[in-house]
Structure 1
Amino acid sequence: MLPRTFFLFELLFHLLAGQPTQVGYQVGTGIADITGPIVQIMMMGYAKHGQTGQGLAQRLYSRAYTVLDPVSGNRITIVNTDTQSMGDIVKQRVVSSLQEIYGEDVYTEKNIMLASTHSHSGMGGFLQYTLYEISVLGWIEETVQPMVQGIVKSIQIAHDNLQEGNVVYNLGELLDTNINRSPSAYLLNPEEERARYKHNVDKDMSLLGFRARDGQPLGLITWFPVHGVSINNTNRLINGDNKGFAAYAAERTMNPDSLPGKGPFVAAFTQSNGADVSPNTLGAFCTETDIPCDGSRDSICPGSSKCIGRGPGWKIGHFESNRIIGQNQATRALELFGQKRKGKAIPASVSASASTSASVPVPISVQGKVDFRQKYWDITKEVVITANGTKGLLCDPAMAAGTTDGPAIDGFYQNTTQGTFFWDIAKDLVKKPTQRQKECQAPKAILLNTGEIKYPFDWQPKILDVQLLRMGNVYIIGVPSEFSTMSGRRLRRSVRQNLIAQGLGNNDTVVLHTGPANGYASYCTTFEEYQMQRYEGGSTPYGPYTLDAYIKVFGELVSSMASGKPILDSEQLPNYVNASYDFSPRQGADRPKLFHQFGDVVRNVAPVYRRRKALTITASFVAGNPRNDGMLDKTYLTVEYRQPSSGDWKIIKTDDDYDTRFIWRYTMPILGQSEATVEWDCGEDTPAGFYRLGYFGHHRTPYTK
């Protein structure tokens, strides 16, 4: 299909130079598109019925970083995806594909960590357990296959780009970007423990920076806790939420001459212990009012009003809030990377004792052994010893519901420890909890007794993928659960103490928390937070001792690494894909609008725009269903600028730019007729000139398989 074109406007960016640095490892970075079906498929995260995709705000990517220790030959690969979480079967398929290419020993489930941004605006269908399949209408190969393909490709690019280089670590405070959405539960933690910390959420951003031998910047990974819910559950356009925007902004800054997803510098913004951490920094209010609320029965909103968090740009819209929270992370990450300070580059190899300023610390070189441990672990079989010396049992999973970042089910509020008449009947119809389950999960008012339902297969996972990676004195833990602020702090503290006790660490040891990673197992709170049963506690599936179990299993991983012995008691991960279902909409043939062809203009742009302020340029076309071709590594739209000197057209925007949108809808579903709309927000600083919009797509003819 040929693009249709019209006259429009452009933007400029600047590259910051790096400096030479020490060589410690072989390092490689890679990025690849994982965007699947952008229409008709349910989004993963809010579990809101009817929140199906209607187009694209930004593409989703896999960003891979491989570090090879030339001394031991060990390598680790960290991958971050613009997804709500990562499917355990997706990881298995990725490993299988890589082993077909490189053999069985180069990349395994042990040395690859698949992490996520935790965006709630991506496609669903990649988690194999019944509860998560229900929320998106099944296991959807249409989503899974491009995800696996893109992750594998990003790792291959990182593998092919391996070169002598250096890894640096940095840490710096980032304010005005996150708040605790359940502060009342946080206050239940011991006072002496809370006194160790300045804030009730982690405000520090941790960073690993990657540079080539000559100092050229290759990429960065950050760890900062903030939920991927800047864009709320009314959204219908696929995007990577605030961390997806942060990656876009950082890469656009560092790759000014490249289109999004195509440049050499790769920036990943990984999720950390953000279960109770919201980007809606103004707090929660009842919609259509200025009444503050917290989602509990104590602050019920009037009438049909809902308790929803507000981001910093809420008066303009949630996409503006998303931009602000994402840009905050991108700006701080580039500062910590050592890319610019007072107009000059900061050398990445400055000694750890050097000090520049309180706001921009100097990166510290990471050197030393590369190692890894991983275990498939049945959490429900774990028994822990509590602080008072008694045994604590883990439970079969069970869930409650509702959060201020996505309104609760009607009639079911946060901090609910007693069931209601209606929900008690509803839950018993699905599966009545046994007395043992009630006692194990107490004080949870069980809404879904997922652990005791066996049809058609497990509703939530029991076998979890837990992982520990090492680069010198930096250790990275990977967990499939969303950890609350204090539960993450306790786990990191425990791992660090264990590392020191077993001779692997010292006072400078860094422990980074990554999650959800390698699978999805809902939430994890502290024992104290669990008692209030806010959303985070209600969504901790395995009962009040979940955190204690994680602390215990990571003690095993540390011991294994310290002794040099492998993990021998790893479980077998189940695979339910063949028993899964797919209730996503069936796709029929496409037909053009009467007397038109595919790609014809339906609504044109004006030939001339006399701009006094920012404006949005829009055009619509006769379209085919975007599910015909996900356009992986391609684009559904372009904005092009005619260069005055040559008259040639240059692509300056694609469907991955934040100021463009691709929107699709059926105009006559029964006839298969549809329309695509291309939008471009033309900023005030766009210079005058000739521009054109292009639309690209495919259609399916009748009787096509």
Structure 2
Amino acid sequence: MLAAWLVCACVAAAHALRVGVGISDVTGPPAEIAFMGYAQLEQTGHGVHLRQFSRAFVLEDNSGGATERLVFVSVDAAMMGHGVRKEVIKRLQKRYGVLYGEHNVIISGTHTHSTPGGFLMDFLFDLPILGFVRETYTAYIVGIYKSIVMAHNKLTEARVLYGEAELLDANINRSPSSYLRNPPEERARYKYDTDKTLSQIRFVSPENRILGVINWFAVHPTSMNNTNKLISSDNVGYASILMEKELNGKNTLPGKGNIVCAFASTNLGDVSPNTKGPHCEFSGKPCDQEKLLCKLPKERCFASGPGRDMFDSTRIIATKLFQTGMEKLLCKLPKERCFASGPGRDMFDSTRIIATKLFQTGMEKLLCKLPKERCFASGPGRDMFDSTRIIATKLFQTGMEKLLCKLPKERCFASGPGRDMFDSTRIIATKLFQTGMEKLLCKLPKERCFASGPGRDMFDSTRIIATKLFQTGMEKLLCKLPKERCFASGPGRDMFDSTRIIATKLFQTGMEKLLCKLPKERCFASGPGRDMFDSTRIIATKLFQTGMEKLLCKLPKERCFASGPGRDMFDSTRIIATKLFQTGMEKLLCKLPKERCFASGPGRDMFDSTRIIATKLFQTGMEKLLCKLPKERCFASGPGRDMFDSTRIIATKLFQTGMKVLNEPGVDMTGPLGIKHQYVKMPEEEVAPFDPVTETFNTSTKVYGCLPAMGYSFAAGTTDGPGAFDFKQGTTTSNPLWNAVRDFIAEPTKEDIMCQAPKPILLATGRAKFPYEWQPKVVSCSVARIGSFFLAAVPGEFTTMSGRRLRNVIAKTAPEAKKVVIAGLSNIYSDYIATPEEYQAQRYEAASTIFGPHTLDIYLNKYVELTNALISSKDMPLGPEPPDLSSQLISLIPPVLWDSAPWGHEFGDCLKQPFKQYSYGDVVVAQFVSGHPRNSIRHGRWYATVERLESEEDDAWVTVFTDADWETKFTWIRDSKVMGTSRAEIEWEIPVGTPKGTYRIHHFGNYKYVLGGIYPYHGFTDGFEVS
């Protein structure tokens, strides 16, 4: 009888554990806040695809007399910050006293890279977010706290069962060359270079009802890449939703079920979900496995043209342009497509140079090549102008007496056909030349060859051109050739008009003494010439020759005009030639039989010049057409056709494997509940190094921690998300330029450099103080046990081999540990933890191992110490607490100023209605007038829902999907920052099996009134049918 009682008592003691589970929304601000993970400033939120949740598990054990409690929380966040955890504990203690505290609360981030940042309170981690974001910080605190309270209120008796299964094709090692640095004896113990085991504990009621499930599988939640702008819990978050829907019922909305299922992080440091592996961005070729560089350093990103490459495409297009549309710029040569370069830098410069030579040597080649010489019969003068003058003089002297005014002093005569005697002379002379001067011309056998000017004859053309040139004041632009006649304009519109004006003034005002005072006879004091016209000519000539020497070309006989439109006659020739080329004056071009007539470019021919110029444009100024990276990026892609499909595939694999384990008998993890925690100041630690071959600590020597520092390869990024600039994986040498930038921020000491070697320090974060601490020096370490299941909560990302070593030393320290699992990214984030051997390779994970090459050795020693304290029930001191930086935080993120609706609309108005009819697989799209999503985080409420009409008579609608479901996307679109207008676009992809009926999309939000206050609104679409 006594024996039976003892058995029952033992069984009761073994089942003294109580478990409660809770889930709460922790979604951060979904718009205009940068995501944490890829450190890309431009990756800011624009909506929601999958909401973030906090999944809490509270365990209580009363079997040992004193009550032990453990809180484990898995949060859909990039990692966990000390400030968030501290505030959550503060709120718990305000409600429950000392029941929960630093010693027994573990908060682990899933490490999704698609959620808002700005909550870590370490400057380096908040810097890509533009500082601290209180909305994110508050959202995480409130949601985590609510989930723990919910779990506390649902404590019920339960058992803990463990199960595991192998999962292949869901992860790869993204740094395999680093993994190979580990000792071969150690690597031989493992089949894969990543952990392929999915570990699971489930909490079951005495009635075998599942209360909650926690799964751990090593994979980065980076299926969603750094181009994603929608909040997403990524592959592990979606796996949680799938399992919760499966266990709670298909119609259960995310976050609303009683059964809570988490897929938590573990030693995922070097593990990627992008199972297709690294390849070059455009060529698709494999990357260099050591440095993950593409072997095509100059390959550019653009659509292929008609040729075999960009140069051939340029040639083909250029050829077509030359052949079909460039007539105005090209000489129309019949056949040959190439030409020799002229003496200048282009066709215009060559024209100028050749024109100069032609002008200087006599212009013979530019003159019309008449078969015989143009000539005139000699008149009474020295040339046709002088002959005209003599004949005109005689006509005036012999036949015009009767027309003279018979005044003693006044000169007068009847007006000729012109406005004055000079113009009349010009007109009469012109007519004489046109009608009666044939005898003066040589009888040329053919046609006289010169083009017509702008006037009615050569004299009028001369007058018009000279007038324009004189009137525009281009004296300085005249070429000063040694033999060219030229002069500046006088007071008139041309030189003839100027002569007339000056002569008139002289005659009218100062020439009285030269006139004979006879009543009838015209007489003048004898001037230097044979008559007044000749005297006028001689005086004018002398005036021009004696006062305008600087402007006159001293040619005795050459006819010349003032400058053209350019700075000199050659530049004028160039400008006119350009216009002639553009307007079709082929007759003025060099008529070569085959040569195409324009100057050479920088190459040996037009194609080579086109190639050279095109190359420069592609390399220097055509960024919009080129990929904006100096070299081709190397990154890994997931198994799907895009990042959404890859997320779905990996999540489905996780879910299916988790369900497989869940459906198999588990192993009872009987035994006590316990946890040990301590803060550790890593740079001050001095420990014995670990030998991975013998799996022992070498107590005869010591190694030390370093002040935090980031290496060069940290900036290179990973294949999941390439970094900026031209940093490379595996860099072990420094660059003076980047060192100068580093030293401007914080200069490392010689001791820092030696401690971190072979890491070249890019950022001495342990020395940086402005504006506050850049990275933590104090970390949080915990070891918990749930019966014979041991959980190591670590403050960072352990690589595959680092995690294996940690699990092994804990299992070796605690023989009663049937299973050891690592809970990654817990309580505080301190980047990566690579093995000392991997550290030598200085790939991304090693460059981000901030406490130096012996970081893992320190952790191994500390977790052995914590495990010993746990199994022996020994108290551990709290250790040095991290500093409180809450008063030093800064933020560069502007607040929401106001919202406004477009003219004629109100908030919630549907701008784009769905179609009337849809089928399975269709995507329904609707748009609404929206307020800024940052006005309200809306936890437990939604930005978007899909509703089905339940009763047309009562107009009763029921929510069937929310913005937390995979099938929906809520996208916020900013229209005008000044006006504060924006839109919400909501998509619903109709899944197979959706019941037929009438549906609508409902949008909810809050707007900020310009005069203050935040107000709710909502709106919905018209109904549409799904069939």
Question: Aligned to 2:761, what secondary structure does the other structure show?
Answer: coil
Which residue, 630, 633, 636 being the options, matches 1:306? Answer: 633
Q: Which residue of 2 aligns with 1:576?
A: 885
Which residue, 632, 647, 657 being the options, matches 2:965? Answer: 657
Q: Which residue of 1 aligns with 2:847?
A: 538
Question: Aligned to 2:240, what secondary structure does the other structure show?
Answer: helix
Q: Which residue of 2 aligns with 1:82?
A: 76
Q: Which residue of 1 aligns with 2:723?
A: 408
After TM superposition, list the pairs within 5 Å mapping 1:577-596 onto structure 2. Answer: 577-596=886-905
Q: Which residue of 2 aligns with 1:368?
A: 671
Counterpart code for 2:49: A
Q: Which residue of 1 aligns with 2:28?
A: 36
Counterpart code for 2:91: S
Which residue, 143, 147, 154 being the options, matches 1:154? Answer: 147
After TM superposition, list the pairs within 5 Å mapping 1:375-414 onto structure 2. Answer: 375-386=678-689, 387=691, 389-400=700-711, 401=714, 402-414=717-729
After TM superposition, list the pairs within 5 Å mapping 1:624-663 onto structure 2. Answer: 624-643=931-950, 648-663=956-971
Separation in 1 of the partners of 2:197 and 2:650?
15
Which residue, 284, 292, 296 being the options, matches 2:291? Answer: 296
- Work out whether residues 295 and 307 of structure 1, in 8 Å CA contact, stay in contact via their aligned partners in 2: no
Counterpart code for 2:726: G
Q: CA deviation at 1:565?
A: 2.3
Note if 1:614 corresponds to 2:921.
Answer: yes
Separation in 2 of the partners of 1:454 and 1:415?
28
* 1:430-481 alpha-carbon deviations (Å, 9 max, x no partner): 2232111111111112111111112222211010010011111111111111
Counterpart code for 1:584: I
- Work out whether residues 293 and 633 of structure 2, in 8 Å CA contact, stay in contact via their aligned partners in 1: no
- Work out whether residues 46 and 973 of structure 2, in 8 Å CA contact, stay in contact via their aligned partners in 1: yes
Counterpart code for 2:675: F
Q: Which residue of 1 aligns with 2:800?
A: 485
Counterpart code for 1:369: P
- Work out whether residues 219 and 266 of structure 1, in 8 Å CA contact, stay in contact via their aligned partners in 2: yes
What are structure 1's unaligned runs of at least 5 residues? 1-21, 339-345, 347-361
Question: Aligned to 1:222, what secondary structure does the other structure show?
Answer: strand
Note if 1:419 corresponds to 2:411.
Answer: no
Question: Aligned to 1:155, what secondary structure does the other structure show?
Answer: helix
Q: Which residue of 1 aligns with 2:468?
A: none
Which residue, 122, 144, 157 being the options, matches 1:129? Answer: 122
Note if 1:601 corresponds to 2:914.
Answer: no
Q: CA deviation at 1:563?
A: 3.2
Separation in 2 of the partners of 1:688 and 1:547?
58
Question: Aligned to 2:959, what secondary structure does the other structure show?
Answer: strand
Counterpart code for 1:660: T
Counterpart code for 2:185: E
Separation in 2 of the partners of 1:585 and 1:193?
52
* 1:328-350 alpha-carbon deviations (Å, 9 max, x no partner): 11111122122xxxxxxx5xxxx
Separation in 1 of the partners of 2:890 and 2:290?
34
- Work out whether residues 109 and 825 of structure 2, in 8 Å CA contact, stay in contact via their aligned partners in 1: yes
Task: Say which one has the larger Rg.
Answer: 2
Counterpart code for 1:553: K
Deviates more, 1:141-150 or 1:535-544: 141-150
Q: CA deviation at 1:197?
A: 0.8
- Work out whether residues 77 and 112 of structure 1, in 8 Å CA contact, stay in contact via their aligned partners in 2: yes
After TM superposition, list the pairs within 5 Å mapping 1:680-699 onto structure 2. Answer: 680-699=988-1007
Separation in 2 of the partners of 1:530 and 1:545?
9
Counterpart code for 2:204: R
Question: Aligned to 1:493, what secondary structure does the other structure show?
Answer: helix
* 1:355-407 alpha-carbon deviations (Å, 9 max, x no partner): xxxxxxx3111211111110011011011223564321211011131211111
Separation in 2 of the partners of 1:99 and 1:336?
37
Separation in 1 of the partners of 2:206 and 2:131?
47
Separation in 2 of the partners of 1:472 and 1:606?
57
Q: CA deviation at 1:290?
A: 1.2
- Work out whether residues 688 and 861 of structure 2, in 8 Å CA contact, stay in contact via their aligned partners in 1: no
Note if 1:519 corresponds to 2:828.
Answer: yes
Question: Aligned to 2:1008, what secondary structure does the other structure show?
Answer: coil
Which residue, 322, 328, 337 being the options, matches 2:662? Answer: 337
Q: CA deviation at 1:553?
A: 0.9
Q: CA deviation at 1:272?
A: 0.5
Q: CA deviation at 1:140?
A: 1.4
Note if 1:168 corresponds to 2:493.
Answer: no
* 1:245-274 alpha-carbon deviations (Å, 9 max, x no partner): 111111111112421100011000110001
* 1:605-653 alpha-carbon deviations (Å, 9 max, x no partner): 11223x4x62211000001001111111111111112237987422110
Note if 1:69 corresponds to 2:372.
Answer: no
Separation in 1 of the partners of 2:50 and 2:178?
35
Note if 1:556 corresponds to 2:865.
Answer: yes
Q: Which has the higher helix share?
A: 2
The share of aligned pairs that are identical, in percent, is 39
Which residue, 248, 255, 269 being the options, matches 1:275? Answer: 269
Note if 1:702 corresponds to 2:1010.
Answer: yes
Question: Aligned to 1:691, what secondary structure does the other structure show?
Answer: strand
What are structure 2's unaligned runs of at least 5 residues? 1-13, 300-628, 692-697, 1014-1027
- Work out whether residues 369 and 471 of structure 1, in 8 Å CA contact, stay in contact via their aligned partners in 2: yes
* 1:195-252 alpha-carbon deviations (Å, 9 max, x no partner): 1111100000110101122111111001111001110000000010111111111111
Question: Aligned to 1:122, what secondary structure does the other structure show?
Answer: coil
Q: CA deviation at 1:44?
A: 0.5
Note if 1:25 corresponds to 2:350.
Answer: no
Q: CA deviation at 1:297?
A: 6.4
Q: CA deviation at 1:300?
A: 4.9
Q: Which residue of 2 aligns with 1:357?
A: none
Separation in 2 of the partners of 1:643 and 1:462?
58
Inter-CA distance 297–633: structure 2 relative to 1 (3 Å threshold):
closer
- Work out whether residues 427 and 448 of structure 1, in 8 Å CA contact, stay in contact via their aligned partners in 2: yes
Q: CA deviation at 1:288?
A: 2.4
Deviates more, 1:451-460 or 1:85-94: 451-460
After TM superposition, list the pairs within 5 Å mapping 1:171-182 onto structure 2. Answer: 171-182=164-175
Q: Which residue of 1 aligns with 2:604?
A: none
Question: Aligned to 2:152, what secondary structure does the other structure show?
Answer: helix
Separation in 2 of the partners of 1:580 and 1:595?
42
Inter-CA distance 66–684: structure 2 relative to 1 (3 Å threshold):
closer
- Work out whether residues 295 and 404 of structure 1, in 8 Å CA contact, stay in contact via their aligned partners in 2: no
Q: Which has the higher strand share?
A: 1
- Work out whether residues 293 and 728 of structure 2, in 8 Å CA contact, stay in contact via their aligned partners in 1: no
Counterpart code for 1:94: V
Separation in 2 of the partners of 1:650 and 1:562?
53
Inter-CA distance 684–569: structure 2 relative to 1 (3 Å threshold):
closer
- Work out whether residues 24 and 167 of structure 1, in 8 Å CA contact, stay in contact via their aligned partners in 2: no
Separation in 2 of the partners of 1:337 and 1:24?
23
Q: Which residue of 1 aligns with 2:765?
A: 450
Deviates more, 1:256-265 or 1:387-396: 387-396
- Work out whether residues 708 and 766 of structure 2, in 8 Å CA contact, stay in contact via their aligned partners in 1: yes
Between the two proteins, the alignment pairs up a number of residues equal to 651
- Work out whether residues 301 and 307 of structure 1, in 8 Å CA contact, stay in contact via their aligned partners in 2: no
Question: Aligned to 1:451, what secondary structure does the other structure show?
Answer: coil
